[in-house]
Chains A and B, each alone.
Chain A
Amino acid sequence: MSIRNLIIPLALIIIVLLYFLTEPWIAMLVFGFAVLVGGLIWAFHIAVKVPGGFDERARPEATGDSGLSQVQRETGRERG
């Protein structure tokens, strides 16, 4: 199991601990930022993996040989 796969369970444990050990609103504050900032980091991480990076001007045409399919396979594996 890679460190990346531990991020979500670890974040959840921290939030639950914060809920019981500090005040509930602090746990919700961390929960909100964790989901939203975490989601954005994930999305940008996927975007920069594509050949050409985030900016599509440098990206090859989305044909069978574009490199996109490779990223899709990788992300598919991650989800699986």
Chain B
Amino acid sequence: MRERWDSRSAFVLAAIGSAIGLGNVWRFPYIAYQNGGGAFLIPYFVAMITAGIPLLILEFGLGHKMSGSAPFSFARIAKRYEWIGWFALLIAFGIVTYYAVIMGWCFGYLYHAFSLAWGKDVSSFFYKDFLHLSSGIGEIGGINPHILIGLALTWIAIYFCIIKGVKSVGRVVLITVPLPWLCLIILAIRGITLPGALEGIKYYLTPNFAALTRPQVWLAAYAQIFFSLSIGFGIMIAYASYLPKNSDINNNAVITGFSNCLTSYIAGFAVFSSLGYLALMTKKSVADVAAGGPGLAFISYPTIINLLPFGAAVFGVIFFLMLLTLGIDSAFSLVEAAVAGGMDRWRISRKVTNIAVCVIGFLGGLIYTTDAGLYILDVVDHFLSNFGLVLVGLLECLIIGYVLKAKVLREYVNSISEFRLGPAWDFSIRFLTPGVLILLLSLNLIERIKSPYGGYPGWIGWVVLLLIFIIALLFARIGRSDVD
């Protein structure tokens, strides 16, 4: 008997928790600012409605119809497609190995926030004292014990979150979804009440409509939606497979998509109001201090916290607690997708699968705790996200659109959902989304052929992708499942 969600709220919160992650805070605001400011909202909303929500519906619908994890669901379409499900799960698993390390950094910074241990030279603290960053990717050095402790704490947290599958996940998300929202709202209010905040928000939202004529801006909007909704990992397929038979699909996807985008939008206020304050205090322009990615979380934000007139430590703790709670449900959803795949394929108990996946994930993350960890993380992330994930999304669209037939899945989800989809959904899955993903993939490929990513040896990312592909093929052949 397959596990079931306790309630619709549990499923929706888990899907929202999985979609909302660190990228909502450190990627969206910066991408919006770089691509037309307020005008970016137009392609972003178009991308959400024409590709993001249709893809969520595809994954929810597939998981629910097939009642299985990603490999199982693809195998039920045709056995020869099972490897696509495994490829998705292995990409997800590869990502969680370093995602857990970033969360380990958050654990470390949460501890340091109590005493503002990063001091005045925040950049030096992050790269030298905290990461012990070596001079290049070839100089691996040793494992950093404090990062190792953070990594271990993250994996222990993940293990306990998924210990009883969707039963425990359903309870955990009651805390890990509202808590970061609360932290985000506190930080946004604190941010917009600081001097200079208005200038920062103007940078974030002042529209540059001329940017909308550039195809790159539209592509950036589709890429942001694709990377932000936890699509292509097999997570949403696994989560939807635990839904009871009479569950809605379409409206749950709409709620998940809109909640994710609203979180990103609000995060922009927290980030840019604080950057406005930083610009004012350091007598620079907002453009000079604007940052995204780990640089925003571990350098810019601690610098802002240092400059706060009162309660610096409190806001430091709130910020890193927010990052931790934002990240944990994305992390355990990535692991749950892999656990569901393992359980479906090899008929192993949840307890054994949980332990095996968590231990392998922890061991896989050790390389990122070394002195060259940041370099390796950077290159692996680039290849898994820009090639692996986009390829999975593309294959999903092609298999559902042309093999299973989009119309078949549309009729299925319409039969159980609170509102109906029209043929426009078929168009999105068969033409629009694959077209955008092919374009993304081609542009990334051309870029990598021209020059290796970040000056790192070009072979590293390709080898990782090739290994994942081979393992996916092997997994599709060994063991047995009901599909066999």
Contact = CB atoms under 8 A, between A and B. Distances in A.
Contacts of B92: none
Interface string A30-52: 01110111011011101101100
Contact of A62 (B204, B205, B416): B416
Interface string A53-72: 01111011110001010011
B258 A71 contact: no
Given A59-B246, A61-B245, A46 B418 contact: yes
B329 interface: no
A25 B41 CA distance: 12
Contacts of A60: 246
Contact of B418 (A29, A55, A57, A71): A71
Contacts of B204: 25
A47 B220 CA distance: 32
Contacts of A66: 246
B212 interface: no
A40 B255 contact: yes
Interface residues of A, number: 36
B251 A55 contact: no
B402 interface: no
A25 B207 contact: yes
A28 interface: yes
A31 B41 contact: yes
For the residues of B in contact with A, the DSSP-based class is helix
Given A25-B205, A25-B206, A56 B248 contact: yes
B43 interface: no
Interface residues of B, number: 34
A56 B205 contact: no
B420 A62 contact: no
A72 B304 CA distance: 50
Contact of B251 (A23, A36, A47, A59): A47
Interface in B1-16: 7-9
B395 interface: no
Interface string B250-270: 010011001101100100000
Interface string B423-459: 0000000000000000000000000000000000000
Contacts of B201: 25, 29
A76 interface: yes
Nearest to B42: A31
B414 A54 contact: no
Most buried by B among A37, A46, A66: A46
B254 A72 contact: no
Contacts of B254: 39, 42-43
Contacts of B247: 56, 62
Most buried by B among A33, A40, A56, A79: A56
Q: Which 7 A-B pairs have the closest CB atoms?
A: A28-B38, A62-B246, A25-B205, A36-B262, A39-B258, A75-B419, A56-B8
Interface of A: 23-25, 27-29, 31-33, 35-37, 39-40, 42-44, 46-47, 49-50, 54-57, 59-62, 66, 68, 71-72, 75-76, 79
Interface of B: 7-9, 37-39, 41, 45, 201-202, 204-207, 244-248, 251, 254-255, 258-259, 261-262, 265, 414-420
16 contacts: A24-B38, A25-B205, A25-B206, A28-B38, A28-B206, A31-B38, A32-B38, A36-B261, A37-B262, A39-B258, A40-B259, A47-B251, A50-B248, A62-B245, A68-B416, A72-B418
